[in-house]
Structure formats: structure tokens, C-alpha cells
Amino acid sequence: MALDGRLGGRGLRLIAVDLYCETRVAEEWRSDGSMRGRVRWRVKQPLKLMNGGYRSW
């Protein structure tokens, strides 16, 4: 979901809403918070794999 959202042009906060729900994002989202970090990781890892990173496993 995170990768599809990013490829579709969604921002990190909107991806977080898709993954967690609007209420939880409203309560926990911070510009330097752990939720943002988790969402960034959930976007970054699939992008790596998609771009050939699966070959290094």
C-alpha cells in the first residue's frame, strides 16, 4: 500500500492515513516523529526492492 501510494503521488501523511487511520495519524503524526519514520521506511524498502535490491538478498 505504501509503495502504491507513493507511486500514485500521495504524500507521507496521506499514506499514513491509508495505513493507520485518520484518527491515529491526527494524534501521533509529528514532523520528526516515529510514525513518520515508520511510513518513510515502508515506502523506502519496497522502492529499493523494486529497483533491483532484491538481487542482493
**Overall domain count for the chain:** 1
pLDDT at 57: 67
Question: What does the pLDDT read at residue 19?
Answer: 97
Domain of residue 37 covers 2-56
Q: Report pLDDT for 56.
A: 81
pLDDT, position 24: 97
Tens of pLDDT, residue by residue over 2-34, are 999 999 999 999 999 999 999 999 999 999 999
pTM exceeds 0.85: yes
Alpha carbon distance, N-terminus to C-terminus of the chain:
22
Following DSSP, what letter does each residue of 13-51 receive, concatenated?
HHHHHHHT-HHHHHHH--TTSHHHHHHHHHHHHHHHHHT
Q: Compute the distance between CA of residue 43 and CA of residue 55 in angstroms, rounded to an integer.
A: 18
